[in-house]
Amino acid sequence: QVRLVESGGGQVQPGESLRLSCAASENIFSTHDIGWYRQTPGKQREFVARFTRGGSGIYADAVRGRFAISRHNFMSTFYLQMNRLQSEDTAVYFCHAAYDADWGSERGYWGQGTQVTVSS
């Protein structure tokens, strides 16, 4: 059972940056896609970014050009760099890892969530 542990959430002002980290309990980068979702109260979990096994980055329209996903292979850790944050980015962010066929589903692995608040 793979465990994912997030860190790096917090409160920032609009226009500022924040980096989220997700540490995996084992090296899964060769077998799983990795990425991030976010959720606000009363809404479904929303896709943010994905890094495929093949090394392609995929982004939601709302964050493309502002957010960047990356990974550190030797540390089994991946990141979400969030720049030019907006109030609309306020949410609980979840890291996720899954086989391609299980992407976005409960058959994949999920972190516990970390709160990001963008407010002046």
58-73 confidence digits (pLDDT tens): 999 999 999 999 998 7
Given a cut of 70, the residues of the chain with pLDDT beneath it are: none
Rounded to whole angstroms, how far apart are CA atoms 104 and 72? Answer: 22
**pLDDT > 70 fraction of the chain, expressed in percent and rounded:** 100
CB-CB neighbours of 24 under 10 Å: 22
* Amino acid 82: pLDDT: 98
